[in-house]
């Protein structure tokens, strides 16, 4: 490849030699030979042990896959080490999964077992595993997440650090397959929800609690005000002229629920705030069509504080939900299926979670989420209402 400050690029002749619209490299050249040979010809598969899959083709050929965890953010040094491993065991082929784990594929079982051992033996100097194997079957696999304070301008929390803290706490479940069904944890640092937060078994979501601070100078100079007005889902923003004659906007704080979409559109409306910002927890979403239809995650904890660097309260709450589910759900039952079967009132009781008014939907189709039925179970939450209403 080119060396030097501008390499192949000649700023005097910008169009010269420019190649465009070539798309991605074709996948065909990166398939390990055993997959190439049996492409479209697979008959069945089995998880041999946590972290090792075996796929069997119509011809009886077998492909062994070893899966290991990845932090998603990766240095090229880390990737080069993965490449060394792939060269050593897999003829120079490797892949990543849709949840940012890494997979090595070989046609030999003993190679796969040796590879797994090798992967599990590698640690960073400070002690964490570089390539812990697992994430297969009914485990808690990698946490799909976002950029956080490493690279994004709208987050209400950090992604990599929070994920590391939670993944440490759930580590034993990455390595084993004891869950009733798959349990997907995901994380997004603001409610743009880049990734899978709206459809995961357990989801962590960065959330603001203060309306934006308005920089009248910046709004007038740098923002297209009608776009800012239109960006608000609750119509809280109006165009105004300030007392000193600047074009700006006003935010009706009674209507604002701190989504941050106006800041996405306009640098003059920042809303990040140390005390205000934190993490909401959602639960019960899924994307597969297995048994039940795909479901959205529901907010079960409206807000917990950002506690850097290890978010102990968030971690503890996630563990509470995981353990309640693991203990109580039936086999094949996803977390959302379980919560719906036992009723959300029982879910809150079993998980030991508070239920507050923040969890009552009040956005457009909210009425559809209310209980228009006398079918309910009694829990402490119910007795509290009966008492407050003067009925007991």
User: Do 131 and 142 meet the contact criterion of CB atoms below 8 Å apart?
Assistant: no
145: phi then psi, degrees, rounded to nearest 5: -150, -170
In this structure, the chain runs to a length of: 392
Choices 89-97, 238-246, 345-353, 378-386 (CB under 8 A): range interacting with another protein: 89-97
Of 66, 109, 115, 198, the residue at the interface with another protein (CB under 8 A) is 198
CB atoms within 10 A of CB 336: 22
Is omega for the bond preceding 265 within 30 degrees of 0, making it cis?
Answer: no
The yes or no reply on residue 221 touching another protein (CB under 8 A) is no
Comparing CA positions, the residue from 127, 120, 197, 131 lying closest to residue 162 is 197
> Exactly one of 117, 221, 238, 290 binds another protein (CB under 8 A); which one?
290
Q: Which of 340, 324, 328, 327 lies closest to 292, judged by CA?
A: 340
Query: Contact between 168 and another protein (CB under 8 A)?
Result: yes
Q: Which of residues 135-164 bind another protein (CB under 8 A)?
A: 136-139, 144, 146-155, 158, 160-161, 164
By CB under 8 A, name the one of 12, 60, 76, 372 that touches another protein: 76
Number of residues that bind another protein (CB under 8 A): 151
Contact between 360 and another protein (CB under 8 A)?
no
Stretch that binds another protein, among 283-291, 316-324, 344-352, 380-388 (CB under 8 A): 283-291
For position 83 contacting another protein by CB under 8 A, the verdict is yes
| Phi, psi values for residue 48, rounded to 5° | -75, -40
Give 222 or 382: the residue with its C-beta nearer to another protein.
222
Question: Cβ of residue 154: shortest distance to another protein, in angstroms?
Answer: 8
Binder of another protein out of 194, 229, 342, 359 (CB under 8 A): 194
Considering only residues 18 to 57 of the shown chain, the ones binding another protein according to CB under 8 A are 18-33, 35-36, 39-50, 55
Q: Does 131 bind another protein (CB under 8 A)?
A: yes
Of 208, 205, 162, give the one whose Cα is nearest residue 296: 205
For another protein, the binding residues in 304-343 under the rule CB under 8 A are 306, 308-310, 331-332
372 binds another protein (CB under 8 A): no
Position 187 contacts another protein (CB under 8 A): no
Give the shortest CB-3-to-another protein separation in angstroms. Answer: 6
What's CA 75's distance to the chain center, in Å? 20
128 part of the interface to another protein, by CB under 8 A:
yes
Q: Cα torsion for 348, 351, 352, 355, to the nearest 10°?
A: -30
CB atoms closer than 10 angstroms to residue 385: 10
CB 282 within 8 A of CB 303: no
CB of 269 to another protein, least distance (A): 9
Convert residues 250-269 into a mask of x (bound to another protein by CB under 8 A) and - (unbound). Answer: ---------x-x-xx--x--
The backbone torsions φ and ψ at residue 76, rounded to the nearest 5 degrees and listed phi first, read -65, -25
Q: Least Å distance between CB 202 and another protein?
A: 15
CA distance 283 to 304: 15
> 205 or 351: whose CB is closer to another protein?
205
Burial label for 219, CB within 10 Å (0-12, 13-18, 19+), is buried
362 in contact with another protein (CB under 8 A): no
């Amino acid at each position: 490849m080119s060396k030097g400050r501008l390499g192949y690029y000649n700023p005097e002749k910008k169009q010269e030699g420019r190649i465009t619209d070539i798309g991605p490299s074709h996948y065909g050249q990166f398939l390990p030979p055993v997959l190439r040979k049996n492409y479209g010809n697979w008959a069945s598969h089995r998880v041999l042990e946590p972290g090792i899959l075996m796929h069997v083709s119509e011809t009886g050929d077998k492909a062994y896959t070893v899966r290991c965890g990845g932090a998603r953010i990766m240095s090229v040094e880390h990737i080069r080490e993965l490449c060394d491993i792939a060269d050593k065991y897999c003829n120079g082929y490797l892949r990543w999964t849709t949840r940012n784990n890494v997979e090595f594929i070989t046609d030999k079982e003993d190679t796969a077992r040796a590879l797994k051992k090798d992967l599990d033996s590698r640690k960073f100097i400070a002690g964490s595993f570089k390539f812990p194997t697992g994430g297969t079957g009914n485990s808690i696999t990698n946490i799909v997440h976002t950029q956080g304070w490493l690279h994004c301008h709208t987050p209400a929390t950090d992604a990599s650090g929070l994920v590391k803290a939670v993944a440490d706490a759930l580590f034993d479940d990455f390595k084993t397959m004891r869950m009733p069904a798959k349990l997907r944890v995901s994380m997004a640092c603001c409610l743009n929800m880049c990734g899978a937060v709206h459809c995961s078994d357990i989801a962590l979501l960065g959330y603001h609690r203060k309306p934006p601070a308005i920089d009248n100078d910046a709004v007038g100079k740098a923002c297209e005000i009608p776009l800012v007005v239109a960006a608000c889902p609750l119509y809280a923003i109006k165009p105004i002229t300030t007392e000193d004659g600047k074009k700006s906007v006003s935010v009706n704080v009674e209507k604002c629920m701190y989504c941050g979409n106006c800041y996405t559109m306009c640098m003059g409306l920042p809303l990040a705030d140390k005390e205000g910002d934190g993490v909401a927890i959602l639960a019960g979403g899924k994307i597969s069509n297995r048994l039940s239809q795909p479901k959205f995650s529901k907010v079960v904890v409206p807000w917990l504080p950002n506690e850097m660097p290890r978010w102990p309260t968030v971690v503890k709450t996630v563990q509470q939900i995981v353990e309640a589910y693991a203990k109580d759900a039936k086999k094949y039952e996803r977390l959302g299926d379980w919560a719906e079967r036992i009723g959300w009132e029982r879910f809150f009781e079993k998980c030991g979670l508070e239920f507050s008014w923040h969890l009552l939907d009040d956005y457009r189709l909210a009425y559809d989420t209310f209980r228009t039925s006398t079918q309910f179970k009694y829990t402490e939450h119910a007795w509290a209402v009966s008492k407050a209403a003067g009925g007991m």
